[in-house]
Structure 1
């Protein structure tokens, strides 16, 4: 291993020690910030993938856990996923139960209290929309019986 490759590997491992990275994101960061040669970076990253230090699948799982813990919906997760350069987001969006996550976000924010009127229902819908949930999931989450006050 040349001195250049050793320096690239050391920089990559320092970054990976802090958090998971998608391969494209790590490559971009090493080339842009450290001004390493792209071809050499590709060679080093291939070696890191072979040894299991770099994994797009592991990155996806870490990103999903992080976003889900913050109550974010599929649209925000997909946007961040595409921005990271980690590839196709269809598999990513098919994994979790987004309806359950929408309900969980509602319960966390508003508790068990049902919306008393249309204005409150709209407020909760806007909350979920801001969290990145699409309209169909918002309607399903708010259509549950437990979210409607008695007599409505």
Structure 2
């Protein structure tokens, strides 16, 4: 590698390392960061980061799904957000269907926390449905959550 080639590589690598030091990023996000750098240099930097273990989209995907689920986000919202960040649809789908996530139970917990001990009348059901939809839960998961509330409220 000549001195002319090393300089853009080192500068680009320094920019990427500054970002990766704060949090994990996707290759797409790093490509956007390096939009003003020649594509060949960008590919070298990304390959170097992968070899060093600094750029691991599998790890990023696992951590992102786990943290978003812990914040009460549903699979649809998580998939949308991670897709926007440039992660593969197959990887997202695989991680969302991992055994550790029971999306119905999570929706039921959120509904229970949101509703508390108040009666579940029609208006409350609609509010809860909208809340869970905005959180990214499917109709089946929402139905499960609302039916679990109804069962708890009945004698």
The one of 24, 29, 39 equivalent to 2:33 is 29
Structure 1 residue 148: Cα displacement:
4.4
8 Å CA contact 1:116–1:148 kept in 2: the answer is: no
Query: Which residue does the alignment assign to 1:108?
Result: 113
8 Å CA contact 1:115–1:147 kept in 2: the answer is: no
Query: Which residue does the alignment assign to 2:47?
Result: 46
Could you tell me which runs of 5 or more consecutive residues in structure 1 were left unpaired when the two chains were aligned. Answer: none
The count of residues paired between Structure 1 and Structure 2 equals 147
8 Å CA contact 1:60–1:92 kept in 2: the answer is: yes
Q: How well do the aligned residues superpose, as a CA RMSD in angstroms?
A: 1.9
8 Å CA contact 1:114–1:147 kept in 2: the answer is: no
8 Å CA contact 2:108–2:148 kept in 1: the answer is: no
CA distance in 1, matches of 2:10, 2:112: 50
Match status 1:139 vs 2:155: no
Could you tell me which runs of 5 or more consecutive residues in structure 2 were left unpaired when the two chains were aligned. Answer: none
| TM-score normalised per structure 1 | 0.86
Query: Which residue does the alignment assign to 1:122?
Result: 126
Matches within 5 A, 1:88-99: 88=89, 89-95=92-98, 96-99=101-104
Query: After the TM superposition, which of the residue ranges 75-84 and 63-72 deviates more from structure 2?
Result: 63-72
8 Å CA contact 1:114–1:146 kept in 2: the answer is: no
8 Å CA contact 2:112–2:149 kept in 1: the answer is: no
Structure 1 residue 30: Cα displacement:
2.1
CA distance in 2, matches of 1:106, 1:78: 21
| TM-score normalised per structure 2 | 0.84
Structure 1 residue 100: Cα displacement:
2.2
